[in-house]
Amino acid sequence: MPPFTRNLLTTKNMARICAITGRRPVKGSSINRKGQSKKSGGIGTHVTSITKRKFRPNLQRIRVKLPNGGTKRLLVSVKAIKAGLIQKA
């Protein structure tokens, strides 16, 4: 039995977390730069501001066929769907 099938039966409904892969939002930064690059003949770019942001997984709410024969609506990342880790009901 693949390791993710155990999670299908026991997962509670959590926001923005993939039920199969466990992908969740991660923190990051949006960096704004200004100026002409040295390669283009300028004096180089400079960081003007750094803003916090989140990278959110592309989750879809789909009906999934469970290993025990039942069906359940789950939040699943598109990466898991494309990889064939789940079977649509």
- pLDDT category at 1 given cuts 50, 70, 90 is very low
| Domain contains 19 | yes
CATH of the domain at 32: 2.20.150.30
| Domain contains 88 | no
Q: 55 is in which domain, residue-wise?
A: 3-82
pLDDT score of 89: 85
| Domain contains 77 | yes
| Domain contains 22 | yes
| Domain contains 66 | yes
| Domain contains 28 | yes
| Domain contains 25 | yes
Q: Is the pLDDT of residue 11 over 90?
A: no
Contacts of 89 (CB under 8 A, 6+ apart): 63, 64, 65, 71
The predicted-structure confidence for 13-29, as pLDDT tens digits, reads as follows 568 999 999 999 999 99
Look up residue 32 and give its amino acid. N
Q: pTM of the predicted model, to two decimals?
A: 0.67
Question: What's the total number of domains in the chain?
Answer: 1
| Domain contains 60 | yes
